[in-house]
């Protein structure tokens, strides 16, 4: 089931907080997060794609490890040749890099870990 803008943003805020939601979406105005939750503003397509991907990857990692470890991955994992965390990769529309980082986290044996 596809989440509404409000549900998606609310769940992510509960998971990673409004500051990281704003960063990940790419918005320059943190008040957008509140506007998305209240429905006074709609997510733009790119913002929604970034946040949906973040939601899916965070939940995949939390399911295997924990919510705390998913947050650690989201703000601290390296996303390959382009430095930066998964939240920064998503903000910069490097969704493939964020997904590859999540796959490495979920399957460390493939990386020799």
In this predicted structure, what is the pLDDT of residue 113?
A: 47
* pLDDT tens for the 113 residues of the chain, in order: 799 999 999 999 999 999 999 999 999 999 999 999 999 999 999 999 999 999 999 999 999 999 999 999 999 877 666 678 999 999 999 999 999 999 999 997 755 44
Q: What is the number of domains present in the chain?
A: 1
In this predicted structure, what is the pLDDT of residue 78?
A: 74
In this predicted structure, what is the pLDDT of residue 61?
A: 96
In this predicted structure, what is the pLDDT of residue 77?
A: 78
CA–CA separation, 16 and 83 (whole Å): 21
Domain of residue 11: give its range: 5-111
83-102 b/e (C-beta count within 10 Å ≥ 16 → b) = ebbbbbbbbeebbebbbebb
* Integer-rounded Cα radius of gyration of the chain: 14
In this predicted structure, what is the pLDDT of residue 110?
A: 54
Q: Long-range CB contacts (< 8 A, 24+ apart) of 31-34?
A: 33/9
Distance set, CA 50 to CA 32, 47, 108, 109 (Å): 15, 5, 24, 27
**pTM given for the model:** 0.90
């Amino acid at each position: 089931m596809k989440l509404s803008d409000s549900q998606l943003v609310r769940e992510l805020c509960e998971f990673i907080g409004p500051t990281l939601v704003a960063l990940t979406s790419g918005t320059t105005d943190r008040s957008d997060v509140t506007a998305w939750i209240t429905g006074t503003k709609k997510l733009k397509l790119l913002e929604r794609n970034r946040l949906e991907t973040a939601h899916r990857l965070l939940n995949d990692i939390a399911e295997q490890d924990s919510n705390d470890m998913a947050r650690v991955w989201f703000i601290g994992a390296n996303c390959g040749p382009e430095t930066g965390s998964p939240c920064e990769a998503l903000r910069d529309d490097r969704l493939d890099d964020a997904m590859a980082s999540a796959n490495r986290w979920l399957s460390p044996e493939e990386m020799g870990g």
